[in-house]
């Protein structure tokens, strides 16, 4: 009998296909099954479809042998419960109230009987082995306790199948073992778990079978863990993703592979497993006593919901060097960028810019030290869509106070000269525009990124933090950004390149530092090996 499964499920979000004809089935009850995949692979969508929380375009869902159409409009399905990635309990309720919500029993004449309710849930929680008082408010609970309440709630519905979406993402490391023990104990009682996880080590520790999704498709049907090794799973997770991410960027890389690259020397072969790269000839003989332009030293940042922190993370960027940061998205890259840029104060550790401790410096001061930032989120972080082009081009120089001598004096500025200065920048980067006072929102994506480059890749730059700099750009745009970063490198700028496009990392990076769960797990040098990188990104350091 199929305990849980789906058949030819397709889910669209607007023009994005989240799930594309997904068919999966798990037959062993009382077991723990895992689904792995990169961000955006469709894992959470799958969970929601299985639980009946969202409507599919087509397909069916199978629960304990019964098939249901997956196209029913957002109706909760009996028999299967979902424990969300981020908790969905009302924070101002007590544990007992949250559990009781929408459940029959203990209410008489529409009124709750607090005492009875609390006793009932105290028993239930204890039975499941959770040490949580039913009288405590949800918001006062530790993450693992909230999760315990969620699991209790899911089980109290009588469901025998529980779907857990990234249950370890919100837990502190020391709580993970406890969760795993609990799940194993419950599985032994006949509960079937489907667990979404992206860390292979945890999949191996917990699950009996693993299935892999990539780009909304099944690339590995449920397979017993004993019959497949980590490298193979990692290759499926990463390999498929690189095909998916092989966008314009990679095509350019491949096209450029034949062209003599001269100084930059960055080449990327079409061979999917081994890609050569390199910086300046003789890079390995770089004088390491030379001061790093950027030094991130033992930085720790706490994890918060939606953003993983860092654990004693260190990385150095030397002049004339591009250091790539590789990792499955959501492993601390955001925190790293924010700490370097100055948007986030680390709990421990420091950031040194060109020899000066910048940890306590505000963004403007860091920019005056030559720090530049090309954000991934262009529309909200990089540009102001309703402001004019020249304002966008001159925003950081004016606000942070560099490169505007003769235009801004003691806080007074000449709008005319400022605009002229902005136009010079725009023209140097060949931004196509009708008038420099037209609104930013009128520009296309590639043209918009040119404005960002015009502002961030200037003569005063010493360190450039480039975050997904070619995401969503076409061939020409990608080429432009790559050339800009390479030119900056030639001029002695240090670049910290955070990218989820492996081909981009291979094509540009002199070194690649791998980040996993907020930790630095590996540093790779050319020639790069895709399998090795994939392994490091998902499993950790090669032992």
Partner 1 sequence: MNWRNGLGSVGRSGVALLVGLALAAITFQAGGFSAGGTASGVVTGAITGPGSLALTLRYALPLAFIAIGVVVSFRGGFFNAGAQGQFYAGGIVSLYVGLTLPTSLGGPIVAMLAILAGAVAGMVWSILPGLLRVYFNVNEVIGTLMFSFIAEYLVTYVAVGPLKSSAGAGQVAVTTSVPNAVRVTPASGIGIGVVLGVLLVGAAVWWLLRRTRFGFEIALIGRNPVMAEVQGVEIRQIGLATFAITGFTAGLGGAIEILGPLGSISSGYDPNIGLTAILVALVGVLAVGGVLVAALVFGGLTAASLYLPIATGLPSTSLVFLTGLVSFVVTAKVGWGRWSQGLAQRVRGGPRPGHRGDEVPVPSGAPPDADERQRGTPAASPGSVGTPV
Which parts of this chain interact with partner 1 (CB under 8 A)?
13-16, 18, 39-45, 48, 306-307, 329-330, 334, 337-338, 341, 343-344, 362-364, 367, 373, 375-377, 380-388, 391, 395-396, 398-401, 408, 411-415, 418, 435, 437-440
CA distance 425 to 420: 9
Reading the block at residue 174, the tokens are 């020391």
Minimum Å distance from CB 2 to partner 1? Answer: 24
Minimum Å distance from CB 440 to partner 1? Answer: 8
Phi, psi of 79 (to 5 degrees): 95, -15
Give alpha helix (H) positions in 157-172: none
Q: Which residues are paired to 348 by β-bridges?
A: 300
The sign of the dihedral angle between the CA atoms of 469, 472, 477, 479 is positive
Question: What element of type H or E holds 63?
Answer: strand 58-63
Please say which residue, 265 or 354, places its beta carbon nearer to partner 1.
Answer: 354
Please say which residue, 149 or 299, places its beta carbon nearer to partner 1.
Answer: 299
DSSP assignments along 91-142, one per residue:
TTSBHHHHHHTT--SSEETTEE-HHHHHHHHHHHHHHTT----TTSBGGGS-
Measure CA 425 to chain center: 32
Question: What element of type H or E holds 7?
Answer: strand 4-13
Please say which residue, 198 or 235, places its beta carbon nearer to partner 1.
Answer: 198
Minimum Å distance from CB 329 to partner 1? Answer: 6
- 3-state SS of 374-407 is ECCCHHHHHCCCCCEHHHHHHHHHHHHHCCCCCC
Minimum Å distance from CB 418 to partner 1? Answer: 8
Minimum Å distance from CB 399 to partner 1? Answer: 4
Please say which residue, 198 or 311, places its beta carbon nearer to partner 1.
Answer: 198
> Which are the contacts of 530, defined by CB distance < 8 A and separation ≥ 6?
238, 239, 242, 272, 273, 274, 275, 502, 506
CA distance 146 to 469: 37
Question: DSSP character for 237?
Answer: I
Please say which residue, 98 or 296, places its beta carbon nearer to partner 1.
Answer: 296
Please say which residue, 13 or 66, places its beta carbon nearer to partner 1.
Answer: 13
Minimum Å distance from CB 312 to partner 1? Answer: 21
Please say which residue, 20 or 529, places its beta carbon nearer to partner 1.
Answer: 20
Please say which residue, 423 or 510, places its beta carbon nearer to partner 1.
Answer: 423
Minimum Å distance from CB 402 to partner 1? Answer: 9
Please say which residue, 47 or 493, places its beta carbon nearer to partner 1.
Answer: 47
Cα–Cα nearest to 182, from 173, 54, 191 = 191
CA distance 9 to 49: 8
Minimum Å distance from CB 338 to partner 1? Answer: 5
CA distance 299 to 346: 6
CA distance 422 to 349: 37
Minimum Å distance from CB 500 to partner 1? Answer: 9
Q: How far is CA 427 from CA 298, 390, 440, in A?
A: 41, 11, 15
Minimum Å distance from CB 196 to partner 1? Answer: 10
DSSP assignments along 426-444, one per residue:
HHHTT---S-TTSBGGGS-
Please say which residue, 201 or 307, places its beta carbon nearer to partner 1.
Answer: 307
Reading the block at residue 445, the tokens are 């994506």
Please say which residue, 59 or 278, places its beta carbon nearer to partner 1.
Answer: 59
Please say which residue, 39 or 189, places its beta carbon nearer to partner 1.
Answer: 39
Minimum Å distance from CB 121 to partner 1? Answer: 31
CA distance 278 to 511: 8
The answer to whether 326 and 266 are in contact (CB under 8 A) is no
Question: DSSP character for 372?
Answer: E
Minimum Å distance from CB 266 to partner 1? Answer: 26
């Amino acid at each position: 009998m199929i305990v849980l499964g789906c058949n030819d499920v397709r889910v669209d979000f607007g023009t994005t296909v989240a799930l594309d004809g997904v068919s999966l089935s798990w037959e062993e009850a009382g077991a723990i099954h895992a689904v792995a995949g990169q961000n955006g692979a469709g894992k959470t969508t799958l969970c929601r479809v299985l639980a009946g929380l969202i409507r599919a375009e087509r397909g069916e869902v199978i629960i304990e042998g019964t098939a249901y159409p997956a196209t029913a409009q957002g109706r909760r399905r009996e028999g299967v419960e979902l424990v969300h990635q981020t908790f969905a309990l009302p924070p101002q309720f007590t544990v007992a109230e949250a559990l009781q919500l929408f459940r029959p029993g203990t209410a008489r004449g529409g009124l709750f009987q607090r005492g009875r309710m609390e006793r009932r849930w105290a028993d239930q929680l204890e039975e499941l082995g959770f040490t949580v008082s039913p009288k405590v408010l949800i918001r006062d609970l530790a993450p693992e306790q909230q999760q315990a309440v969620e699991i209790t709630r899911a089980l109290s519905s009588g469901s025998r199948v529980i779907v857990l979406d990234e249950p370890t993402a919100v837990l502190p490391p020391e709580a993970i073992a406890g969760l795993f023990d609990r799940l194993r104990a419950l599985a032994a009682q006949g509960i079937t778990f489907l667990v979404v996880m992206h860390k292979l080590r945890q999949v191996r520790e917990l699950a009996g079978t693993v299935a892999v999704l990539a780009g909304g498709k099944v690339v590995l049907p449920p397979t017993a863990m004993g019959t497949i090794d980590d490298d193979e799973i990692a290759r499926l997770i990463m390999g498929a993703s690189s095909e998916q991410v092989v966008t314009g960027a990679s095509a350019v890389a491949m096209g450029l592979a034949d062209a003599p690259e001269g100084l930059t020397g960055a080449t990327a072969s079409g061979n999917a497993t081994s890609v050569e790269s390199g910086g300046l000839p003789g890079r390995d003989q770089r004088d390491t006593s030379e001061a790093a332009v950027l030094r991130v030293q033992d930085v720790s940042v706490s994890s918060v919901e939606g953003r993983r922190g860092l654990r004693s993370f260190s990385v150095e960027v030397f002049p004339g060097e591009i250091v790539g940061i590789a990792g499955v998205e959501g492993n601390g890259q955001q925190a790293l960028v924010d700490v370097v840029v100055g948007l986030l104060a680390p709990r421990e550790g420091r950031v040194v810019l060109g020899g000066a401790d910048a940890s306590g410096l505000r963004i403007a001061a860091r920019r005056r030290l030559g720090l530049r930032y090309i954000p991934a989120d262009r529309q909200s972080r990089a540009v102001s869509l309703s402001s004019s082009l020249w304002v966008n081009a001159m925003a950081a120089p004016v606000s942070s106070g560099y490169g505007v001598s003769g235009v801004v004096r003691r806080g007074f500025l000449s709008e005319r000269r400022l605009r002229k200065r902005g136009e010079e920048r725009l023209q140097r980067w060949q931004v196509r525009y009708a008038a420099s006072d037209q609104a930013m929102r009128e520009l296309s994506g590639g043209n918009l990124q040119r404005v960002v480059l015009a502002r961030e890749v200037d003569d005063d730059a010493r360190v450039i933090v480039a975050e997904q700099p070619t995401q969503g750009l076409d061939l020409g745009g990608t080429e432009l950004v790559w050339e800009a970063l390479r030119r900056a490198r030639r001029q002695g700028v240090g670049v910290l390149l955070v990218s989820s496009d492996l081909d981009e990392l291979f094509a540009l990076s002199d070194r690649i530092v791998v980040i996993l769960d907020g930790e630095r797990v590996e540093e790779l040098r050319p020639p790069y090996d895709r399998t090795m990188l994939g392994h490091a990104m998902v499993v950790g350091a090669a032992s």
